[in-house]
Amino acid sequence: IDASFEADHNGAIAWIDTQDFSLDIPRTYQQPLLFRTVRGRLSAHWRATLLTLEQGLLAVAADDHDAMVQFAMDIPLQRTLNLDNELAMYLSVGFGAAPLTIRDRYLPLTVSPTLSRWLEMSIHSGDAVGGAFLWRGGFKDYGQAKQSLQLGLDVKGLELAFSPEWPALATSSAMVLVDTQRVSAWSQHARVADLKLQGLSVEVDANGSVNKLLATSRVDSDASGVVTTLRQSPVYERAYSVLSDVGAQGSITAELTVDLNLSDRELSPRVKLDSYLQDVNLRSDRLQLELQQMTGPLAYDTEHGFKSPSVEGRILAQPFNMVIGNNVVGADGADGAEVLDARLTTRL
Protein backbone atom coordinates (compact mmCIF):
# COMPACT_ATOMS: atom_id res chain seq x y z
CA ILE A 1 0.00 0.00 0.00
CA ASP A 2 1.32 3.47 -0.87
CA ALA A 3 0.44 6.05 1.78
CA SER A 4 1.69 8.95 3.86
CA PHE A 5 1.32 8.65 7.63
CA GLU A 6 1.07 11.06 10.50
CA ALA A 7 1.01 9.57 13.98
CA ASP A 8 1.30 10.49 17.67
CA HIS A 9 0.22 9.01 20.99
CA ASN A 10 -3.43 9.85 20.19
CA GLY A 11 -3.56 7.87 16.93
CA ALA A 12 -2.66 8.05 13.26
CA ILE A 13 -3.90 9.34 9.93
CA ALA A 14 -2.99 7.82 6.56
CA TRP A 15 -3.37 9.52 3.18
CA ILE A 16 -3.61 6.66 0.71
CA ASP A 17 -2.76 6.73 -3.02
CA THR A 18 -2.11 3.19 -4.15
CA GLN A 19 -2.59 0.86 -7.11
CA ASP A 20 -3.43 -2.86 -7.37
CA PHE A 21 -4.92 -2.98 -3.88
CA SER A 22 -6.18 -6.28 -2.46
CA LEU A 23 -8.51 -6.75 0.54
CA ASP A 24 -8.39 -10.37 1.69
CA ILE A 25 -11.05 -11.57 4.17
CA PRO A 26 -10.64 -15.39 4.43
CA ARG A 27 -13.66 -17.59 5.17
CA THR A 28 -15.92 -14.67 4.21
CA TYR A 29 -14.94 -14.01 0.59
CA GLN A 30 -13.64 -16.78 -1.65
CA GLN A 31 -11.32 -14.40 -3.49
CA PRO A 32 -9.62 -11.18 -2.36
CA LEU A 33 -11.44 -7.98 -3.31
CA LEU A 34 -9.23 -6.37 -5.98
CA PHE A 35 -9.11 -2.68 -6.89
CA ARG A 36 -6.99 -0.96 -9.53
CA THR A 37 -6.64 2.22 -7.50
CA VAL A 38 -7.50 3.40 -3.98
CA ARG A 39 -7.25 7.05 -2.95
CA GLY A 40 -8.35 8.72 0.27
CA ARG A 41 -7.72 8.88 4.00
CA LEU A 42 -8.02 6.55 6.99
CA SER A 43 -7.62 7.23 10.71
CA ALA A 44 -6.66 4.86 13.50
CA HIS A 45 -6.36 4.74 17.26
CA TRP A 46 -5.55 1.91 19.62
CA ARG A 47 -5.43 0.62 23.13
CA ALA A 48 -3.90 -2.50 24.61
CA THR A 49 -6.55 -4.91 23.33
CA LEU A 50 -8.01 -3.24 20.24
CA LEU A 51 -6.96 -1.44 17.06
CA THR A 52 -9.69 0.74 15.56
CA LEU A 53 -9.58 1.91 11.95
CA GLU A 54 -12.11 4.68 11.34
CA GLN A 55 -13.14 7.71 9.32
CA GLY A 56 -12.07 5.97 6.13
CA LEU A 57 -13.22 7.88 3.07
CA LEU A 58 -11.88 6.37 -0.13
CA ALA A 59 -12.37 6.65 -3.89
CA VAL A 60 -11.75 3.24 -5.46
CA ALA A 61 -11.71 1.89 -9.00
CA ALA A 62 -12.22 -1.78 -9.88
CA ASP A 63 -12.21 -3.43 -13.30
CA ASP A 64 -16.00 -3.23 -13.62
CA HIS A 65 -17.02 -0.17 -11.56
CA ASP A 66 -15.92 2.92 -9.62
CA ALA A 67 -17.08 3.54 -6.07
CA MET A 68 -16.95 5.81 -3.03
CA VAL A 69 -16.24 3.95 0.21
CA GLN A 70 -16.68 4.67 3.90
CA PHE A 71 -14.65 2.20 5.93
CA ALA A 72 -14.04 1.33 9.57
CA MET A 73 -12.84 -1.80 11.33
CA ASP A 74 -12.33 -3.12 14.87
CA ILE A 75 -9.32 -5.44 15.11
CA PRO A 76 -8.73 -7.26 18.44
CA LEU A 77 -5.06 -7.36 19.46
CA GLN A 78 -5.54 -10.12 22.02
CA ARG A 79 -7.69 -13.22 22.29
CA THR A 80 -10.56 -12.38 24.60
CA LEU A 81 -14.02 -13.58 25.59
CA ASN A 82 -15.28 -10.00 25.52
CA LEU A 83 -17.84 -9.90 22.71
CA ASP A 84 -17.32 -6.15 22.38
CA ASN A 85 -13.79 -6.82 21.10
CA GLU A 86 -14.70 -9.07 18.16
CA LEU A 87 -13.26 -8.49 14.69
CA ALA A 88 -15.87 -6.33 12.95
CA MET A 89 -16.16 -4.26 9.77
CA TYR A 90 -18.32 -1.24 9.00
CA LEU A 91 -18.33 -0.71 5.25
CA SER A 92 -20.49 1.47 3.01
CA VAL A 93 -19.96 1.42 -0.75
CA GLY A 94 -21.77 3.59 -3.28
CA PHE A 95 -21.24 2.97 -6.99
CA GLY A 96 -22.55 3.98 -10.39
CA ALA A 97 -22.95 1.92 -13.56
CA ALA A 98 -21.87 -1.72 -13.19
CA PRO A 99 -22.75 -5.19 -14.51
CA LEU A 100 -25.04 -7.31 -12.34
CA THR A 101 -22.13 -9.71 -11.79
CA ILE A 102 -21.03 -7.09 -9.24
CA ARG A 103 -23.04 -9.18 -6.76
CA ASP A 104 -20.31 -11.84 -6.96
CA ARG A 105 -17.81 -9.28 -5.66
CA TYR A 106 -19.79 -8.19 -2.61
CA LEU A 107 -21.92 -11.16 -1.49
CA PRO A 108 -19.96 -13.34 0.94
CA LEU A 109 -19.60 -17.11 1.13
CA THR A 110 -21.86 -17.10 4.17
CA VAL A 111 -24.91 -16.20 2.05
CA SER A 112 -27.33 -19.13 1.82
CA PRO A 113 -26.33 -21.61 -0.94
CA THR A 114 -29.99 -21.66 -2.01
CA LEU A 115 -29.96 -17.89 -2.44
CA SER A 116 -26.63 -17.91 -4.31
CA ARG A 117 -27.86 -20.65 -6.65
CA TRP A 118 -31.12 -18.82 -7.33
CA LEU A 119 -29.30 -15.57 -8.16
CA GLU A 120 -26.93 -17.41 -10.48
CA MET A 121 -29.63 -19.34 -12.35
CA SER A 122 -32.44 -16.78 -12.44
CA ILE A 123 -30.84 -13.51 -13.55
CA HIS A 124 -30.33 -13.78 -17.31
CA SER A 125 -29.48 -10.18 -18.13
CA GLY A 126 -29.42 -6.65 -16.77
CA ASP A 127 -27.09 -3.86 -15.71
CA ALA A 128 -26.91 -1.76 -12.57
CA VAL A 129 -27.38 1.97 -13.09
CA GLY A 130 -26.18 2.49 -9.53
CA GLY A 131 -26.21 0.85 -6.15
CA ALA A 132 -24.91 0.56 -2.60
CA PHE A 133 -23.40 -2.14 -0.42
CA LEU A 134 -23.47 -2.11 3.39
CA TRP A 135 -21.75 -4.41 5.89
CA ARG A 136 -22.22 -3.87 9.60
CA GLY A 137 -20.69 -6.04 12.32
CA GLY A 138 -18.55 -9.12 12.68
CA PHE A 139 -17.78 -12.09 10.48
CA LYS A 140 -19.05 -14.81 12.80
CA ASP A 141 -22.74 -15.65 13.22
CA TYR A 142 -23.71 -14.25 9.81
CA GLY A 143 -27.17 -12.70 9.84
CA GLN A 144 -27.48 -12.57 13.63
CA ALA A 145 -28.42 -9.49 15.64
CA LYS A 146 -25.01 -7.80 15.59
CA GLN A 147 -24.34 -8.43 11.90
CA SER A 148 -26.13 -7.32 8.75
CA LEU A 149 -25.55 -7.06 5.01
CA GLN A 150 -27.44 -5.19 2.30
CA LEU A 151 -26.78 -4.85 -1.41
CA GLY A 152 -29.13 -2.49 -3.23
CA LEU A 153 -29.20 -2.13 -7.01
CA ASP A 154 -31.03 0.16 -9.42
CA VAL A 155 -31.29 -2.13 -12.45
CA LYS A 156 -32.16 -1.59 -16.09
CA GLY A 157 -32.96 -4.26 -18.68
CA LEU A 158 -33.57 -6.97 -16.07
CA GLU A 159 -34.59 -10.43 -17.30
CA LEU A 160 -35.52 -12.85 -14.54
CA ALA A 161 -36.42 -16.51 -15.02
CA PHE A 162 -38.29 -17.72 -11.95
CA SER A 163 -38.85 -21.14 -13.60
CA PRO A 164 -37.46 -22.73 -16.80
CA GLU A 165 -41.01 -23.84 -17.71
CA TRP A 166 -42.43 -20.33 -17.86
CA PRO A 167 -41.40 -17.32 -19.96
CA ALA A 168 -38.85 -15.03 -18.32
CA LEU A 169 -39.97 -11.87 -16.61
CA ALA A 170 -38.61 -8.72 -18.25
CA THR A 171 -38.57 -5.13 -17.02
CA SER A 172 -36.82 -2.00 -18.22
CA SER A 173 -36.31 -0.72 -14.67
CA ALA A 174 -36.29 -2.37 -11.24
CA MET A 175 -34.99 -1.99 -7.70
CA VAL A 176 -33.27 -5.04 -6.20
CA LEU A 177 -32.29 -5.47 -2.53
CA VAL A 178 -30.28 -8.35 -1.11
CA ASP A 179 -30.70 -8.31 2.67
CA THR A 180 -28.68 -10.98 4.48
CA GLN A 181 -30.68 -14.07 3.38
CA ARG A 182 -33.43 -12.39 1.36
CA VAL A 183 -33.84 -10.85 -2.06
CA SER A 184 -36.55 -8.30 -2.81
CA ALA A 185 -37.26 -6.78 -6.22
CA TRP A 186 -39.80 -4.16 -7.25
CA SER A 187 -40.80 -2.75 -10.61
CA GLN A 188 -43.60 -0.43 -11.68
CA HIS A 189 -43.94 -2.06 -15.09
CA ALA A 190 -42.89 -5.52 -16.27
CA ARG A 191 -43.82 -8.17 -18.81
CA VAL A 192 -44.06 -11.95 -19.01
CA ALA A 193 -44.21 -12.83 -22.70
CA ASP A 194 -47.18 -10.71 -23.88
CA LEU A 195 -48.68 -10.24 -20.42
CA LYS A 196 -48.32 -6.69 -19.09
CA LEU A 197 -47.68 -6.41 -15.35
CA GLN A 198 -47.90 -3.45 -12.98
CA GLY A 199 -46.65 -3.05 -9.43
CA LEU A 200 -44.47 -6.17 -9.51
CA SER A 201 -43.01 -7.44 -6.23
CA VAL A 202 -40.68 -10.45 -5.95
CA GLU A 203 -39.61 -11.80 -2.55
CA VAL A 204 -37.09 -14.61 -2.09
CA ASP A 205 -36.66 -15.88 1.47
CA ALA A 206 -33.71 -18.27 1.82
CA ASN A 207 -33.58 -18.10 5.61
CA GLY A 208 -33.24 -21.52 7.23
CA SER A 209 -36.00 -23.92 6.24
CA VAL A 210 -38.17 -21.37 4.36
CA ASN A 211 -36.49 -21.24 0.90
CA LYS A 212 -39.47 -19.75 -0.87
CA LEU A 213 -40.14 -17.34 -3.74
CA LEU A 214 -43.30 -15.27 -3.82
CA ALA A 215 -44.07 -12.87 -6.68
CA THR A 216 -47.17 -10.71 -6.90
CA SER A 217 -48.36 -8.23 -9.51
CA ARG A 218 -51.40 -6.56 -11.01
CA VAL A 219 -52.31 -7.42 -14.59
CA ASP A 220 -53.92 -4.94 -16.95
CA SER A 221 -53.67 -6.50 -20.37
CA ASP A 222 -55.43 -7.32 -23.59
CA ALA A 223 -57.03 -10.76 -23.66
CA SER A 224 -54.92 -11.71 -26.69
CA GLY A 225 -51.78 -11.19 -24.57
CA VAL A 226 -53.09 -13.62 -21.97
CA VAL A 227 -53.74 -16.31 -24.60
CA THR A 228 -50.32 -15.95 -26.28
CA THR A 229 -48.61 -16.04 -22.88
CA LEU A 230 -50.42 -19.24 -21.91
CA ARG A 231 -49.28 -20.76 -25.21
CA GLN A 232 -45.68 -20.30 -24.01
CA SER A 233 -46.35 -21.92 -20.64
CA PRO A 234 -46.94 -25.47 -19.32
CA VAL A 235 -50.70 -24.77 -19.56
CA TYR A 236 -50.48 -25.03 -23.37
CA GLU A 237 -49.62 -28.72 -23.32
CA ARG A 238 -52.41 -29.50 -20.87
CA ALA A 239 -55.07 -27.50 -22.75
CA TYR A 240 -53.72 -27.73 -26.29
CA SER A 241 -57.08 -28.37 -27.96
CA VAL A 242 -58.46 -25.11 -26.55
CA LEU A 243 -55.47 -22.76 -26.59
CA SER A 244 -54.35 -23.76 -30.08
CA ASP A 245 -57.80 -22.92 -31.44
CA VAL A 246 -59.02 -19.74 -29.77
CA GLY A 247 -58.29 -16.07 -30.36
CA ALA A 248 -59.28 -13.35 -27.90
CA GLN A 249 -59.89 -9.62 -27.78
CA GLY A 250 -60.90 -7.37 -24.93
CA SER A 251 -59.68 -6.18 -21.53
CA ILE A 252 -58.55 -8.31 -18.59
CA THR A 253 -57.57 -7.06 -15.14
CA ALA A 254 -56.15 -9.49 -12.63
CA GLU A 255 -54.02 -10.19 -9.58
CA LEU A 256 -51.12 -12.56 -10.29
CA THR A 257 -49.31 -14.66 -7.68
CA VAL A 258 -46.35 -17.00 -8.27
CA ASP A 259 -45.25 -19.27 -5.41
CA LEU A 260 -42.13 -21.45 -5.72
CA ASN A 261 -40.33 -23.77 -3.29
CA LEU A 262 -36.60 -23.18 -3.87
CA SER A 263 -35.53 -26.24 -1.85
CA ASP A 264 -36.62 -28.62 -4.62
CA ARG A 265 -35.61 -27.58 -8.14
CA GLU A 266 -37.83 -30.34 -9.56
CA LEU A 267 -41.00 -28.64 -8.33
CA SER A 268 -42.89 -26.35 -10.68
CA PRO A 269 -44.12 -22.96 -9.47
CA ARG A 270 -47.71 -22.56 -8.39
CA VAL A 271 -49.24 -19.81 -10.52
CA LYS A 272 -52.51 -18.19 -9.48
CA LEU A 273 -54.42 -15.60 -11.53
CA ASP A 274 -57.60 -13.97 -10.23
CA SER A 275 -58.97 -12.01 -13.19
CA TYR A 276 -62.02 -10.11 -14.32
CA LEU A 277 -63.16 -10.16 -17.95
CA GLN A 278 -64.61 -6.99 -19.41
CA ASP A 279 -66.31 -7.28 -22.81
CA VAL A 280 -63.95 -10.02 -23.99
CA ASN A 281 -64.57 -11.72 -27.34
CA LEU A 282 -63.41 -15.32 -27.68
CA ARG A 283 -63.43 -16.93 -31.14
CA SER A 284 -63.04 -20.61 -32.03
CA ASP A 285 -61.74 -21.16 -35.55
CA ARG A 286 -62.52 -24.86 -35.33
CA LEU A 287 -66.17 -24.32 -34.41
CA GLN A 288 -66.57 -21.07 -36.34
CA LEU A 289 -68.22 -19.56 -33.27
CA GLU A 290 -67.56 -16.43 -31.25
CA LEU A 291 -68.43 -15.74 -27.64
CA GLN A 292 -68.94 -12.00 -27.39
CA GLN A 293 -69.01 -9.41 -24.60
CA MET A 294 -67.85 -11.93 -21.99
CA THR A 295 -67.92 -10.30 -18.57
CA GLY A 296 -67.28 -11.78 -15.14
CA PRO A 297 -64.66 -13.30 -12.83
CA LEU A 298 -62.25 -15.96 -14.07
CA ALA A 299 -59.62 -17.63 -11.87
CA TYR A 300 -56.74 -19.92 -12.76
CA ASP A 301 -54.21 -21.85 -10.73
CA THR A 302 -51.85 -24.63 -11.66
CA GLU A 303 -53.49 -27.13 -9.28
CA HIS A 304 -57.15 -26.69 -10.30
CA GLY A 305 -57.11 -25.06 -13.74
CA PHE A 306 -59.72 -22.44 -14.69
CA LYS A 307 -62.76 -21.64 -12.54
CA SER A 308 -65.64 -19.18 -12.59
CA PRO A 309 -69.05 -19.23 -10.92
CA SER A 310 -70.54 -17.13 -13.72
CA VAL A 311 -69.35 -15.48 -16.93
CA GLU A 312 -72.02 -13.74 -18.96
CA GLY A 313 -71.96 -12.78 -22.62
CA ARG A 314 -73.62 -13.26 -25.97
CA ILE A 315 -73.51 -16.04 -28.58
CA LEU A 316 -75.33 -15.88 -31.93
CA ALA A 317 -76.95 -12.63 -30.72
CA GLN A 318 -78.38 -14.38 -27.63
CA PRO A 319 -77.30 -13.97 -23.98
CA PHE A 320 -75.52 -16.85 -22.27
CA ASN A 321 -74.20 -17.78 -18.85
CA MET A 322 -71.15 -20.00 -18.41
CA VAL A 323 -69.89 -21.86 -15.35
CA ILE A 324 -66.26 -23.02 -15.44
CA GLY A 325 -64.51 -25.66 -13.33
CA ASN A 326 -65.49 -28.20 -10.67
CA ASN A 327 -66.05 -30.86 -13.36
CA VAL A 328 -69.36 -29.23 -14.36
CA VAL A 329 -69.71 -31.42 -17.45
CA GLY A 330 -68.22 -34.65 -16.03
CA ALA A 331 -65.35 -34.55 -18.53
CA ASP A 332 -62.71 -36.48 -16.55
CA GLY A 333 -59.98 -37.71 -18.88
CA ALA A 334 -60.91 -35.43 -21.78
CA ASP A 335 -58.15 -33.44 -23.43
CA GLY A 336 -57.56 -30.36 -21.27
CA ALA A 337 -60.56 -31.08 -19.03
CA GLU A 338 -58.45 -30.86 -15.85
CA VAL A 339 -57.52 -27.31 -16.94
CA LEU A 340 -60.67 -25.98 -18.64
CA ASP A 341 -64.08 -27.57 -17.98
CA ALA A 342 -67.14 -25.41 -18.75
CA ARG A 343 -70.93 -25.48 -19.18
CA LEU A 344 -72.60 -22.79 -21.30
CA THR A 345 -76.31 -22.14 -21.03
CA THR A 346 -78.26 -20.09 -23.57
CA ARG A 347 -81.56 -19.93 -25.44
CA LEU A 348 -81.39 -20.08 -29.25
Query: Is 120 buried (19+), middle (13-18) or exposed (0-12) by CB count in 10 A?
Result: exposed
pLDDT of residue 297: 95
Query: Which residues, 6 or more positions from 132, have their beta carbon under 8 angstroms from its beta carbon?
Result: 92, 93, 94, 95, 150, 151, 152
pLDDT of residue 70: 93
pLDDT of residue 86: 79
What is the rounded CA–CA span in Å between residue 306 and residue 293?
19
pLDDT of residue 337: 45
What is the rounded CA–CA span in Å between residue 243 and residue 241?
6
Q: Which H, E and C letters describe 79-130, residue by residue?
A: CCCCHHHCCEEEEEEEECCEECCHHHHHCCCCCCHHHHHHHHHHEEEEEEEE
pLDDT of residue 319: 95
For residue 335, what are the CA distances in angstroms to 31, 231, 291? 54, 16, 21
What is the rounded CA–CA span in Å between residue 338 and residue 132?
48
Model confidence over 65-122: pLDDT tens digits? 999 999 998 888 877 655 566 788 899 999 999 988 888 888 887 777 777 888 888 8
What is the rounded CA–CA span in Å between residue 206 and residue 213?
9
Which residue positions in the chain have pLDDT lower than 70?
A: 80-85, 141-145, 208-210, 265, 326-339
